Amino acid sequence: MFLVPLLFHSYLGLTGTIVLVIALVALQVALRRRRARRITTPRPSR
């Protein structure tokens, strides 16, 4: 019965860290895409 809360806390910690990492990566990708779009928008589309 004592291992259940420990596993639950460790599971929450792992999920929390994974969610934070995914959020940071998503923000970086969004910023890169925005920058790339700004650079590619002035070019003439042919």
With the C-alpha atoms ordered 18, 19, 21, 25, is the resulting torsion angle positive or negative?
positive
- Is 18 domain-assigned? yes
The neighbour count for residue 11, using CB atoms within 10 Å, is: 10
Q: What pLDDT is attached to residue 41? A: 62
Q: How many domains does the chain have?
A: 1
Is 3 among the domain residues?
A: no
Tell whether 16 is covered by a domain. yes
Q: Does residue 7 lie within any of the structural domains?
A: no
In a domain, 23, yes or no: yes
The Cα 20–Cα 17 span in angstroms is: 5
Q: Does residue 1 fall inside a structural domain?
A: no
Predicted TM-score (pTM) of the model is 0.53
Q: Is residue 41 in some structural domain?
A: no
CA distance 27 to 20: 11
* pLDDT tens profile 1-46: 577 777 788 888 899 999 999 999 999 999 888 877 666 666 665 5
| pLDDT for 36 | 73
Q: Is residue 43 part of a domain?
A: no
Full residue range of the structural domain in which residue 31 is found = 12-36
pLDDT at 42: 62
